[in-house]
Structure 1
Amino acid sequence: MDSAAGRDCCPAFPRTHSGPPCKYHGYESEDGHSEGYKKAQSVVIVERCAFAGPLLAGSRVICDWRQGQPLSLYALVCAVTLLNPIQISIHTSQAVLKLRRRSKASFRTSDSSAESNGTVPTTKSTSTLNSSYGASTPPSSVQPNGSMTNVTATKSKGDSTAPPLPPRPSVTPLKSNRNSTVGLGSSGSGVTMRSPGATSPFAPKLTSIADSTVVYQKVLLVYGEVGDPLQRPMAGNITIHHDKDGQAFPPTNWPVSDSYFKALVYLSPGWNQIRFDFTTASLSKDGIHSSYMMLNYLPLNNSPPLQLAIIVGRDSPCTYDAVPERREREGNGLDTAIRKYRMAAHLWQAFTAEQMYRHKFGRRCFRFEEEWQTGTLSLRDWEAGNLKNEIKVHVIRSDKTVAEIQDLQLAQQYAPAAKKGDLYPIASDAIKKYFRLRPGQRQYVAAMFLDSHWDPVVGTIRGHAALGGTSDDLQLAIFGSQALQSYPSCIEEVVPALTDCTRTDTRFVANDLNESGSNWEAVNIGIGAHLHEVGHLFGCPHQESGVMLRDYVRLNRTFLVREHYSTRTQSQGLRICRIEDECGWHRLDILRFRHHPCFRTPVDTILSTLDDSIQFYPIGNGKVIFCAPSGISFIEIYPDDGDELCRYWLEYVSTESRNGGMPWNVTLSEANVRSRLPENKRKGKVKLQVFSGSSRSLTIVDFSELLSKSYIVNLPARQSAPTKDEGLTMNTYNRLTKLPQSFETRPGFKGNKLGFSRLDGSKPEQIILDSVNLQTKLLTSIKVYSGYALDGIAFCYEDGHCQLFGKRGGKAGGDEFFFDTRRGETLSGFYLRAGLWIDGLQILTSLGRKSQIYGNAHGGSGHILMPPAGYTIAGVSGSCGQWIDGFQLIITR
């Protein structure tokens, strides 16, 4: 770099002033000499650089010449990757590069002439990346801040003050979530996509998502409008360009109908800058109308995945039903089946994430397991063999032959079949063997039988069953492949598949339940009905509307604006498919998903896994307290009218809190419950199903029974002691004087019982703690008798007296846990392991201490029994046979 006086130090730093240059730059120092820069910093504007190119045009650079070293171009080139404009503070003596963003509106620009009079042309900005306006910008005064304390305004030689610089024209920000332009080239033109200033009234406006949104799935459903649909409805196409000049994903086209559009956007992990171009033949003005959006795709890795599996017979040819034209054009082998099944799963995910967002629970959704393999979401990747992270589809060979799978007795839709549900255990056994599941390792699997076959002679689908549910640690949904030929295999095929009106040829493929008369309707039934079973997998029952009530026959409306002719309804489809016309998840399904582990996001509070149970305590006056350590999510209400579908409920989930804002305790009155029902259903029995934040539920068969006397215990009247005579021990004094009874009486309330009380010789037992009604009694320890189950517990007092619940079995002498009475430690509750009987017990204290788990620490499921706020333990009730097989707390105010 030539630093001779009178010359620019580098082509990247042109002379931008009229005074003599300093040693390294075309700027004067304060005293007219380059030595004046030993403690000062100068400001230069980079216009062009042979190394950096136009990307640094307009950048503001602050250079520190304390060591008399020229600015390194390498440091400038390092800034190319950063957003422009930027401010760079370089201290060459320490080789430190500090970067700080500056507002675009804070820069001052001048004309390109060295003799500029300060007039600023407003046609173009020098700070835009693609600007062709070749102006160099003189230095402006920089206000001192914490990182630059020595920066001073530059002065001309002999002048006492620096000449005033005109401010840069301000730009009024658009009130929009996107930036639009007209007349831009395609993404392959080599121009880096930025947000230009000029706007077009026909640029696509996204109404479903805001700029800079974080999403958690690879394929995102978006929708919006072009122009004003009410004033000038338009038709055309939306072309979606992805960042990196189409390297991430090729452009895709989506139809615009009456100015509305819906589209699927492919996202790469991290930030994605997406460009939406609108083209139409109805506009006389040439050019493309574009808008931009930044989206951040954050893959989820800490939530359990939904696994995809294809099950084939041990002698299967690995083909599926397809018409001859399809077999010739795209094939019907295993590779094509995997691609189609994978695309269907992405549609499940995009649909569900959008539904969660509409219910104000964010864009949460289940995730899939992925692996590095040939990309299939675009035709380009598949044909070129490009490797990408794609959903892993497990191909599982069953022990059964194809003939056994296609047995008519197993066909769900065959009326005389005797074993309609047996395909479920066949799939379950194959999956458990494939994944080698261990106890406690839960898997969520959506499986498809590839060997399903339409039998036109019998008129049924062999090897098909639509079932979903939970079996031990496997939550499974199964379906057949009878509609697979109609599925899209990539994003480019979604619109053609959902608009294909080709009639179903029942010589080769099935018209499932006479609702798949055309190819696009077969897509709805196949993808939608399988999603229905996935809903069962996640714990959803049938609902009064939505996916769980066969509303998936309208699934196409979620992804398209205009609907085609329907053979199912024998009518023309909707001209505009609005939100209210679409299929959706029911609100109760959404509430189940909100706290399901498969739907967990990084910002969610992880709820306790120690106890996912729900307890209840009737407290009199027609009220019941429900308690759950993971929070109460919602309560379903079922009147006694024979309707199995839930139509009335109470919900306690907040849409604003990360953990859902669920209360731990909920007090419910009978009047409140019955007021939720219609007038003609308020009398009679009412069933409740209470759901916790851990997705567990508790069923109350008859709410009125909880309010009956069977849950109320008459406690002995409380007794108080007079002042103790110092000459007697407390126990002796009590026996001599006999404590007077108080007039205060308190009822006790039983909580829900753990255990089934079904052991041989089981008898009910109940004790009221002496320390509750005798103030002079001090509970000092608890003895626990246990072996492989809980045999008994004894409450021991200071005077040596013990109250035994159950038997003294198991370990000889039992195990004793002592309270720290000097610190006022008392019993606050129990943690129990329980199933058919009580397997184990742990003692919880008021100081937060816990005993070990006595008995079987791994038997049954965990339950925390602890009185709600304002109540204390008054005793225990239950039953005992060979060991304790029933246990419940008695609480009092």
Structure 2
Amino acid sequence: MMFDKFHHQSGSNPTSPPSGYSNQDSLSSTSSSSSFAPRVFNVNNNDIVHARLVILDGTAGPQQGGANSSVVVYHHVNSFPSQRFQVTDGYFKAFVHLNPGVNNLRIVWSNGDDDEQSPSSQLTLNYVPLLQNPPLHYALIVAKDSPFLFDSPTYKKEQEGGNGLDLAIKKVRLASYMMAAYTGEQMRRAGFGHRTFRPHEEYDKDTLSDRDRSLRSTTKVHVIQSNLTVDEIRDPNRAQQNSQGTDRGALFGIALDAIRNSGNDLFADKGENVMVAAIILDGHWDVQRKLIVGHAALGGSSGHIRLGIFGSHALWSFPTSIEQITPCYLDETRVDTNQIAKDCSGEGTAWEVYNVGFGAWLHEIGHLLGCPHQPYGIMLRDWYINRSFMSREGYASGPKTNGKRPIRAKDESVWHPLDLLRFRFHPAFRSPFENRVEGSKIGFFPLENGVLVRTMTGIYLVEIYVDDKLQGWLKFLSPQQETFLFEDDLLGQVQDLGARDPNKKLTINVLGLGESQETVQDFRELARSDQIHDTFFRNRGVVTGFRSLPIGSASGQLQTAIFPPDIRGVNVRCGAWIDAIEFIPCNDNGDPANGPQRPRVGGTGGGANQFLFQEGEYLVGFFIRAGAWLDAVQIITNIRRSPIYGNSQGGGPFELYPPPGYELVGIKAHVESWLKSFSVVYISKD
């Protein structure tokens, strides 16, 4: 699965953040007797946070005047160099380093006087790293003959002393913490507490400050070599923005292969997804072609690897340290396209290149975290990330206006509410008190007037699409193991009355814990399909039966086995997978050779495993494990469970049993040499 940033989904409901999106508290988290002393609104004193660097949003000094004032943050026991941040019309944003454990911070409003005599406040934050959560790896992909350089204009190379690999690592390292802090602040405003992803760290010389090279845990930026040359990576046919290119998606696979073939055990398949955000260092602005080569903005997944990639053409504009964040965000130097690229028309100045490059890469990281395109926010093109770190912004070359001042929370770029909900239940965002959840298959059970949706772990979101546009959603902050979906209820969440047209395609996307997700392309067709009219051996005449949506692969011959209510057992034929399932009638002597005469799905391969019922025992459902085929089956009766037959570690888990008020009367399966899919048949008990 792969997403492309150039194919954005539009949506009419809604198209912009709701008013009052910010949920800033009015209570100060700091204490001081002076009215000019800094007051922080987005954290409380003694808060427990889980990111090494956090954004502080607050007020300091007079609301008018104080044009040259700033706040200075003094870190716990001077363990990190003090940092200065601008104050604009009484508002400031600060980006603050924390040590693991207790951090007593002193925040001073400075107006050019002695900081020791200036109004100040104290703030205590407790940083608890969540090392049990899967990390986000940051990487630079390089060609096998790479010169280890990235595009940079002359003035920037003079400022930074070059444009080499060490500089690129510093820029990516700082970006990793800014992305985590930004996302953490967005999660807090959504009411989800202090949650964010963590970059993969190592104990090394830190580079986040120009005035410090202490050893501490800091983001490890992997340098991963591709087996391709610079020329091959820069092949114009592989440039995503080349409308005439013949292989515009190739760079995703090239980066993926480099990661897989790196020999790094951190990227190996160990039963948990591996997340990687990568920059292709050998990306380049081809001045003659007016084309960025070696660049693609893509994010998605392949196997156990979740990957987001971007070119290096904007890396020159990124800061290398916390001290450089403000200068970079206020750098109004015009972009010289004889030296460097403009990714879009709104990139006339250096700070705008930084905004777009940072935001576009974060967009691809959103994809690797499972986010689709949205009607607004980061997953569209809302990339004013500067406003989350600054109290004012520079001249905007697009609209040709002076930037906003002061910048408030309502002015900032946002993750869409559905992105934040995905993060809330993503394993990388777990709180210390939440256990890891194995993803479960999601099952769909059609009924007379709707569909029951069920999962073993919990459903937290149902997205509603009409003609492939997001029109509404149902969310469950307390995830539900099952929920009934009716067409009227789904359409009730659609605000666009025109989208309620019954002739339009109604699609649902269901998300569950453990990164489980299933899409039903045509909900109306599902609700009325797969009906079976039969007596089902029930002496009630012809009744209507329903079949659950198949779990597994719908390939091969579709077979059905309807069994009478008085069966005396079930025989499962299996080896490394499930070959057949047979139902043993009451008049059967239990000889496995009777298989061909029994209601069954599947062939004759594998070994027999007969599970015979006791007095008063009857079949109620199945536990299965399935992926591309049926790996394992367990029989569930009213009083016990059988052993698990087949490969008990294969595929994903799910339990199949009828909805409340219905009884199990049969199964269906797609069959090739073994069972490729599995579903249950059920009828109303009435």
After TM superposition, the score normalised by the length of structure 1 is 0.69
Asked if the contact 1:371–1:392 (Cα under 8 Å) also holds between the matched residues in 2, the reply is: yes
- Within the candidate set 143, 164, 168, 1:333 is matched to 164
Once the two structures are superposed, residues 60-89 of structure 1 have per-residue CA deviations (whole angstroms, 9 ceiling, x without a partner) of xxxxxxxxxxxxxxxxxxxxxxxxxxxxxx
What are the residue-to-residue correspondences of 1:696-775 with 2, within 5 Å? 696-708=516-528, 710-711=530-531, 713-716=533-536, 718=538, 747-759=544-556, 762-767=557-562, 769-771=563-565
Q: Does 1:180 align with 2:37?
A: no
Q: Does 1:832 align with 2:624?
A: yes
- Return the letter of the residue paired with 1:581: D
- Within the candidate set 681, 685, 688, 2:508 is matched to 688
What is the CA-CA distance between 1:796 and the residue it aligns to?
2.5
CA distance in 2, matches of 1:713, 1:835: 30
What are the residue-to-residue correspondences of 1:348-387 with 2, within 5 Å? 348-382=179-213, 386-387=214-215
Asked if the contact 1:616–1:751 (Cα under 8 Å) also holds between the matched residues in 2, the reply is: yes
Counterpart in the other structure of 1:585: 415
Once the two structures are superposed, residues 834-862 of structure 1 have per-residue CA deviations (whole angstroms, 9 ceiling, x without a partner) of 344434322234445341223x4455443
Counterpart in the other structure of 1:493: 324
Asked if the contact 1:627–1:868 (Cα under 8 Å) also holds between the matched residues in 2, the reply is: no
Q: Does 1:784 align with 2:572?
A: yes
CA distance in 1, matches of 2:483, 2:272: 32
Once the two structures are superposed, residues 299-327 of structure 1 have per-residue CA deviations (whole angstroms, 9 ceiling, x without a partner) of 01111111111111111121111122322
Counterpart in the other structure of 1:815: 609
Once the two structures are superposed, residues 346-383 of structure 1 have per-residue CA deviations (whole angstroms, 9 ceiling, x without a partner) of 1111111111111111111111111111111111113x
What are the residue-to-residue correspondences of 1:187-266 with 2, within 5 Å? 199-226=33-60, 229=63, 234-235=66-67, 236-244=69-77, 246=78, 248-266=79-97
Once the two structures are superposed, residues 107-166 of structure 1 have per-residue CA deviations (whole angstroms, 9 ceiling, x without a partner) of xxxxxxxxxxxxxxxxxxxxxxxxxxxxxxxxxxxxxxxxxxxxxxxxxxxxxxxxxxxx
Match of 1:355, SS state, is helix
CA distance in 2, matches of 1:417, 1:709: 43
What is the CA-CA distance between 1:411 and the residue it aligns to?
1.4
What is the CA-CA distance between 1:700 and the residue it aligns to?
1.2
Asked if the contact 1:834–1:861 (Cα under 8 Å) also holds between the matched residues in 2, the reply is: yes
CA distance in 2, matches of 1:406, 1:672: 51
CA distance in 1, matches of 2:552, 2:320: 51
CA distance in 2, matches of 1:880, 1:388: 57
Once the two structures are superposed, residues 249-300 of structure 1 have per-residue CA deviations (whole angstroms, 9 ceiling, x without a partner) of 111111111111111111000010111111236x999931111111010101
What is the CA-CA distance between 1:635 and the residue it aligns to?
0.9
- Within the candidate set 587, 596, 599, 2:429 is matched to 599
What is the CA-CA distance between 1:826 and the residue it aligns to?
3.9
- Within the candidate set 440, 448, 452, 1:625 is matched to 452
Q: Residues 870 and 571 (structure 1 numbering): CA distance in 2 closer, same or farther, change over 3 Å?
A: same
CA distance in 2, matches of 1:337, 1:594: 31
Q: Does 1:794 align with 2:582?
A: yes
Q: Does 1:510 align with 2:341?
A: yes
Once the two structures are superposed, residues 529-584 of structure 1 have per-residue CA deviations (whole angstroms, 9 ceiling, x without a partner) of 111111111111111101111111x1111111112111122211112222222111
CA distance in 1, matches of 2:316, 2:617: 69
What is the CA-CA distance between 1:712 and the residue it aligns to?
5.2
Once the two structures are superposed, residues 588-638 of structure 1 have per-residue CA deviations (whole angstroms, 9 ceiling, x without a partner) of 11121111111122122432x2x5211111221x22111011111111111
Counterpart in the other structure of 1:672: 489
Q: Residues 372 and 763 (structure 1 numbering): CA distance in 2 closer, same or farther, change over 3 Å?
A: closer
Which of 1 and 2 has greater Rg? Answer: 1
Counterpart in the other structure of 1:805: 600
Asked if the contact 1:180–1:289 (Cα under 8 Å) also holds between the matched residues in 2, the reply is: no
CA distance in 2, matches of 1:846, 1:366: 43
After TM superposition, the score normalised by the length of structure 2 is 0.89
Asked if the contact 2:27–2:41 (Cα under 8 Å) also holds between the matched residues in 1, the reply is: no
CA distance in 1, matches of 2:435, 2:576: 35
What is the CA-CA distance between 1:879 and the residue it aligns to?
4.1
Asked if the contact 1:453–1:463 (Cα under 8 Å) also holds between the matched residues in 2, the reply is: yes
In percent, how many aligned pairs have the same letter? 37
CA distance in 2, matches of 1:749, 1:400: 53
Once the two structures are superposed, residues 441-483 of structure 1 have per-residue CA deviations (whole angstroms, 9 ceiling, x without a partner) of 5311111111111121211112111111101111111111111
Q: Residues 799 and 298 (structure 1 numbering): CA distance in 2 closer, same or farther, change over 3 Å?
A: same
Q: Does 1:306 align with 2:103?
A: no
Match of 1:381, SS state, is coil
- Matched positions, count: 644
- Return the letter of the residue paired with 1:304: P
- Return the letter of the residue paired with 2:117: G
What is the CA-CA distance between 1:333 and the residue it aligns to?
1.3
Match of 1:890, SS state, is strand
Q: Residues 830 and 280 (structure 1 numbering): CA distance in 2 closer, same or farther, change over 3 Å?
A: same
Asked if the contact 2:561–2:601 (Cα under 8 Å) also holds between the matched residues in 1, the reply is: no
What is the CA-CA distance between 1:234 and the residue it aligns to?
4.9
Match of 1:295, SS state, is strand
CA distance in 2, matches of 1:517, 1:830: 61
- Return the letter of the residue paired with 1:523: Y
- In terms of fraction of residues, the more strand-rich structure is 2
CA distance in 2, matches of 1:600, 1:325: 43
Counterpart in the other structure of 1:884: 675
CA distance in 2, matches of 1:479, 1:864: 41
Q: Residues 811 and 313 (structure 1 numbering): CA distance in 2 closer, same or farther, change over 3 Å?
A: closer
Match of 1:517, SS state, is coil
Asked if the contact 2:669–2:679 (Cα under 8 Å) also holds between the matched residues in 1, the reply is: yes
What is the CA-CA distance between 1:224 and the residue it aligns to?
1.0
Q: Residues 716 and 425 (structure 1 numbering): CA distance in 2 closer, same or farther, change over 3 Å?
A: closer
Counterpart in the other structure of 1:531: 362
What is the CA-CA distance between 1:676 and the residue it aligns to?
2.2
What are the residue-to-residue correspondences of 1:312-461 with 2, within 5 Å? 312-330=142-160, 331-382=162-213, 386-434=214-262, 435=264, 437-438=268-269, 440=271, 442-461=273-292
